[in-house]
Amino acid sequence: MKDCELSAPSQERQLRQPGGGQTGSGCVGPTSVSQTPRRGQICSAGADSREGNNSPEESGDLVTEVGALDPSGKPKRSKKRRRRRQGAGRQVVGLPPAPSAAAPVLLWFRRDLRLCDNPALTAALEVGAPVIPIFIWSPEEEEGPAGVTVATGGACKYWLHQALSCLCASLERNGSHLVFLRSAEAGGEGGSSLQTLKELVKETGARTVMANALYEPWLKDRDHAAAVALWKSGVECKMFHSYCLRDPYSVRTEGVGLRGIGSVSHFLSCCRQNPGPALGAPLEPPTALPVPAHWPRGAPLEALGLARMPRRKDGTTVDWAASIRKSWDFSEEGAHARLEAFLGDGVYRYDKESGRADAPNTSCVSPYLHFGQLSPRWVLWDAKAARCRPPKFQRKLAWRDLAYWQLSLFPELPWESLRPPYKALRWSSDRRHLKAWQRGGTGYPLVDAAMRQLWLTGWMNNYMRHVVASFLIAYLHLPWQEGYRWFQVRNGCRGDTGQDTLVDADVAIDAMMWQNGGMCGLDHWNFVMHPVDAAMTCDPDGSYVRKWCPELSGLPDELIHKPWKCPASVLRRAGVVLGQTYPERIVTDLEERRSRSLRDVALVRKQFGQYVDERSGCDLLPLPPRLVSEALGSSPQGGVEAAGGRPFLLPLITRMEFKHQQGDPDADAASNPYNAVLKGYVSRKRDEAVAFLHERDFTASVMQEGARRRERMESDQRRLEGLPRASEPRGRARRTPTAKDRFSVVPGGAVTPAR
């Protein structure tokens, strides 16, 4: 127990402790009598408050104490609550009135940089104590076991810097501010963030730490270790669920089974069969935050080094983020404005034209979701409240949760192929091809435009990500890890700020998509995007290529996606010189490279036949203990194995062309009836619609000719027999097809001629 007294003769505030200056059990505060009490401690200034006088109870001094926390985390009841209430209004002469004398709450911001729908913020305000918002930058802890970074590359760090600046401004408008801290080198249990939290607890006297949970396995382990260590020291640490719609560690397969695992349909079935807590309505932002009496020492935002720019030899700065600043609004208000703009316009074209690269038909909210400036619950709530509610857009949120569920099941997802045979695939090691792909110099305009957009703005839509991934894996034969690293992981390319290019570099989503595109994930996509034919779907007029590859802007629409087929006169008039103003194609025979890729897959599947189901031809995957325990109802720590000590193997979704290629490994891609190379989603549907209409029109014309022939024969027969002409059939007249007839309109604007 500590006595806080004011010495009248010297007018110095000193902290005195009975019994030789030793602090009582469970007390937090200075232990030296020469130290100054923290701002906000309430002391009495009566004539009897002298050293050596009566006890604090007899002298009327106010005793400020912090109750110890029991193992349940609840504060013990104090026997002097009445005296504290009576002395709460007393103020020390010369000290400003403290906003609050209660122990503050540390609100730990991570990837939840928002005020709207923030469960941790709402819970901190419900405590009724001062709230100290903090942000701890610890890049060493963000990296996974294999150095897989979450937000430690150039583009992500720059967005994080801008988002933190906007969040700090929002907190200042509410009367508070954000304390920035950079942790020291990791050491001890829980890592460097734990050491920083312990120092903050010691400095502020906080008894509660609140944060929103993160679901990367290494970050979840870090948070658990920190919570246990803080609990042992008497500090309660509470984590709240808000980063995903469904907690990935609570998803179970009971009642659904494991068939089809990896697909979003299977994931949704698991969520419906084993529902979790109700989502509820989004939380409104606060209007004011209670401030503490004493703010901890922090560092300026610039000291975190998030927006560091490299310098040239002459001392000038390389402002590589200028295009990113022009393309995005980094504030929480900008996130809501972009979502509202999409729900008011682009959502009407999202279902059928979300793959268009030349039109703003996508929401572009993925960076805001990654850094928590928008909560997925808020996005889902607004999407359901919009006038147009496309299921495809809402399904994207399920894909996001599916990615984190896969990461929780397979922590090695970002760096190791899940399907065992594909770990032995023969990949190319041509660094020249990789560099050309990274910098947008492949000679294929659609791929180059997408990679240049990524480099300048840090983003591209989902369809274009499929295009560039298919080109890297299926046509350049480069491993999917190279694409993942370029999108996500720092390798020291942009000066010393990192090599990643995506501003929404989400480790779970990127790893799942690159694994699936690299043929080794839980789901096999039954398509490969052709770099030329796909352009007819996503950029039919060439406006997207003209924007990001301006050297090709003079080419005609029908040849802009294949400049190597342009006549010399057309190239000369457009000012294009292949190999000089625009690069030559780095690979020319795409069909041959696709055939070689299929042969390589057939070879490894034959080599690792124990991981291929003989009956169905599907790939087999060793199941993690968590899924086996759910299927068998046993404990995951027991190391469940099949008979003979072998792991349980599960058939996975496998591409049909791989199954067919297994029977004839030397066949080329063109002869495979299940060839996965597509022109694109929209063009494939358009071709199917055209074929259907042609077949329907041919059948209708034959039927019409037969009916007219019968009518002529009946008319001739009646005339020969001297009978009157048959009367016209009553009722609605035959309708002539027009341009508004939905059965006569072909997707793309073509109209069948009226017959």
Tell me, yes or no, whether 545 and 691 share the same domain.
no
Banded pLDDT at 717 (limits 50, 70, 90): confident
Tell me, yes or no, whether 530 and 499 share the same domain.
yes
Tell me, yes or no, whether 281 and 190 share the same domain.
yes
Query: What 3-state DSSP class applies to 236?
Result: strand
Q: b/e string for 463-490 if b means 16 or more Cβ within 10 A?
A: bbbbbbbbbbbbbbbbbbbbbbbbbbbb
Asked whether residue 532 is assigned to any structural domain, the reply reads: yes
CB neighbour list of residue 648: distance below 8 Å, 6 or more residues apart: 622, 623, 628, 631, 640, 641, 642
Residue with more model confidence, 177 or 728: 177
The share of the chain scoring above pLDDT 70, in percent, equals 75
Task: Give CA–CA dist 304/180, Å, rounded.
Answer: 8
The parent domain of residue 701 ranges over 684-718
Residue closest to 157 by CA, chosen among 455, 484, 457, 497: 497
Q: How many CB atoms lie within 10 A of CB 564?
A: 13
What pLDDT is attached to residue 409?
94
What pLDDT is attached to residue 229?
94
Q: Which two tokens stand for residue 10?
A: 């010297």
| Low-confidence winner among 150-164, 175-189, 320-334, 649-663 (lowest mean pLDDT) | 175-189
Residue 650 parent element (H or E): strand 649-651
What pLDDT is attached to residue 146?
62
Residue closest to 69 by CA, chosen among 130, 26, 25: 26
Query: What 3-state DSSP class applies to 84?
Result: helix
CB neighbour list of residue 255: distance below 8 Å, 6 or more residues apart: 273, 274
Asked whether residue 210 is assigned to any structural domain, the reply reads: yes
The angle that helices 332-344 and 154-173 make with each other, rounded to 10 degrees, is 100
The CATH number covering residue 174 comes to 3.40.50.620
Q: How many CB atoms lie within 10 A of CB 45?
A: 17
What pLDDT is attached to residue 4?
37
Dihedral sign from CA coordinates of 190, 192, 196, 199: positive
Tell me, yes or no, whether 157 and 284 share the same domain.
yes
Banded pLDDT at 33 (limits 50, 70, 90): very low
CB neighbour list of residue 70: distance below 8 Å, 6 or more residues apart: 76
What pLDDT is attached to residue 399?
95
Domain end (from 532, 567, 588): 588
Asked whether residue 120 is assigned to any structural domain, the reply reads: yes
Q: With a cut of 60, say whether residue 685 has pLDDT above it.
A: no
Q: Which two tokens stand for residue 530?
A: 């052709």
The domain tally of the chain equals: 4
The CATH number covering residue 551 comes to 1.10.579.10
Asked whether residue 10 is assigned to any structural domain, the reply reads: no
Binding-site residues for FAD: 350, 362-366, 393, 504-506
Tell me, yes or no, whether 571 and 614 share the same domain.
no
Banded pLDDT at 183 (limits 50, 70, 90): confident
Banded pLDDT at 478 (limits 50, 70, 90): very high
What pLDDT is attached to residue 391?
87
| Low-confidence winner among 233-247, 397-411, 694-708 (lowest mean pLDDT) | 694-708
What pLDDT is attached to residue 668?
74
Tell me, yes or no, whether 626 and 645 share the same domain.
yes
Asked whether residue 30 is assigned to any structural domain, the reply reads: no
Cα 670 to chain center, whole Å?
37
Question: Mean per-residue pLDDT for 497-504?
Answer: 67
Tens-digit pLDDT profile for residues 405-461: 999 999 999 889 999 999 999 999 999 999 999 999 999 999 999 999 999 999 999
Domain end (from 573, 588, 603): 588
Tell me, yes or no, whether 554 and 613 share the same domain.
no
The mean pLDDT value of the chain amounts to: 79
Residue with more model confidence, 691 or 44: 691
Asked whether residue 158 is assigned to any structural domain, the reply reads: yes
Query: What 3-state DSSP class applies to 26?
Result: coil
CA distances to 39, 245, 440 from 399, in Å: 50, 11, 28
Asked whether residue 662 is assigned to any structural domain, the reply reads: yes
CA distances to 692, 701, 747 from 688, in Å: 6, 20, 10
In the chain, the amino acid numbered 129 is A
Task: Give CA–CA dist 39/95, Å, rounded.
Answer: 8
Tell me, yes or no, whether 511 and 619 share the same domain.
no
Tell me, yes or no, whether 119 and 226 share the same domain.
yes
What pLDDT is attached to residue 751?
44
Strand partners, 6: 13
Tell me, yes or no, whether 460 and 576 share the same domain.
yes
Banded pLDDT at 82 (limits 50, 70, 90): very low
Q: With a cut of 80, say whether residue 732 has pLDDT above it.
A: no
What pLDDT is attached to residue 315?
86
Tens-digit pLDDT profile for residues 100-123: 568 999 999 999 999 999 999 999
Binding-site residues: 350, 362-366, 393, 504-506
In the chain, the amino acid numbered 404 is Y
Banded pLDDT at 636 (limits 50, 70, 90): low
Torsion-angle region of 514 (φ positive above 0: left; ψ -120 to 50: alpha; else: beta):
alpha
Asked whether residue 754 is assigned to any structural domain, the reply reads: no
Domain end (from 559, 588, 617): 588
CB 38, CB 103: distance < 8 Å: no
| Low-confidence winner among 216-230, 345-359, 399-413, 448-462 (lowest mean pLDDT) | 345-359
Task: Give CA–CA dist 558/580, Å, rounded.
Answer: 22
Most confident of 359-373, 717-731, 738-752: 359-373
Most confident of 42-51, 180-189, 655-664: 655-664
